[in-house]
Amino acid sequence: MKFVDEAKLRVQAGNGGRGCMSFRREKFVPFGGPDGGDGGHGGSVWLRAQEGINTLADFRVERTYKAQSGEAGSGNDCTGRGGDDLYVAVPIGTVVRDAETEEQLGDLVREGDVLLVAHGGKGGWGNAKFKTSTNRAPRTFGPGLPGEKRALELELKVIADVGLLGLPNAGKSTLIRAVSSARPKVADYPFTTLHPNLGVVYCGEHRSFVMADIPGLIEGAAEGAGLGIRFLKHLQRTRVLLHLVDMAPLDPAADPVKDARAIIGELKKFSKDLASKPRWLVINKSDLLPPAEAEKKAKAIVRSLRHKGPWFLISGATGTGTRDLTEAVMGFLEEKNAGA
């Protein structure tokens, strides 16, 4: 299925049922009086986060969701049946906004989270409710209130513990394939990743984390170059970023240090909060150089970038160093969880 991370839809709650105008007419009851029942309430529309849904693609086809209206009241003080609420399943990580006011209505981040987006109309009163001491035979009833209508904007932000960051062909897809069961497309040309991929990394019994691979960035992404920064929002929920640097680029004129600085610059342009997240340096493709030369070059890259955090030398293609990397990430996340 095509990955879709933004969608618009309309929701319409059910209308309230009409109240009833009725009078009792029973044998041996000389003064019957009004007995019209109220109309039923209209059903409301809710969004519910559900596992197993990974995109908003369904909302590109079916854009309007209507809840059931309430039924009209009837005689003998019978209230009409209320309309059933409508629950619309959305992916976990969906942010919901009002399309007209741009107000954020909610953020569904856990399985089973629900959000009321359109309130059902109230049922109209039957004529029994209008009876007074001076008006014992009212012929008035309520028509029922209309259900709320709303235009919504949905935005999916992938929920992952770890986010992979880097230029196209830095080896992000290769790394996530090496450490998880995710199988993103891998090739020797830029932009093989066109949408985020998630993989679960297992480090032992009851020890695992979710890793997200997003499309690669290039310098000028904030101005719309390449795939732009559209997918950076998927890193906003992560707790640590792994910044992959290609230490042996195919282009001999390419400079890994300059490229890494360009990515850092794009992060800062997009969001100060994202730029301030813990960012570990992962120097990839060590298999393309002799071990001693790879170690020397990696240390030179770290020094040139003045990187103060953890760094790792790995090969996503052969798996060298990936075990140490994933264990360190798991330990970091466990420490964060213990302190939460």
**What residues does CATH 2.70.210.12 cover in the chain?**
6-156
Q: Over the stretch 293-312, which tens digit does the pLDDT of each residue have?
A: 999 999 999 999 999 899 99
Look up tokens 């910044």; give the residue.
Answer: 243
Q: Over the stretch 112-141, which tens digit does the pLDDT of each residue have?
A: 999 999 999 999 999 988 988 888 888 899
Q: Over the stretch 207-226, which tens digit does the pLDDT of each residue have?
A: 888 888 876 554 444 444 44
Q: State pTM to two decimals.
A: 0.67
Q: How confident is the model at residue 331 (pLDDT cuts 50, 70, 90)?
A: very high
Please give the CATH architecture assigned to the domain spanning 162-339.
Answer: 3-Layer(aba) Sandwich (3.40)
- Residue 20 corresponds to which amino acid? C
12, 267, 238: which is closest to 120 by C-alpha?
A: 12
Give the three-class secondary structure for 6. Answer: strand
- For residue 227, give Cα distances in angstroms to 76, 170, 214, 249, 266: 66, 15, 11, 20, 13
Superfamily of 6-156 according to CATH: GTP1/OBG domain (2.70.210.12)
**What residues does CATH 3.40.50.300 cover in the chain?**
162-339
Distance CA 328, CA 340 (A): 18
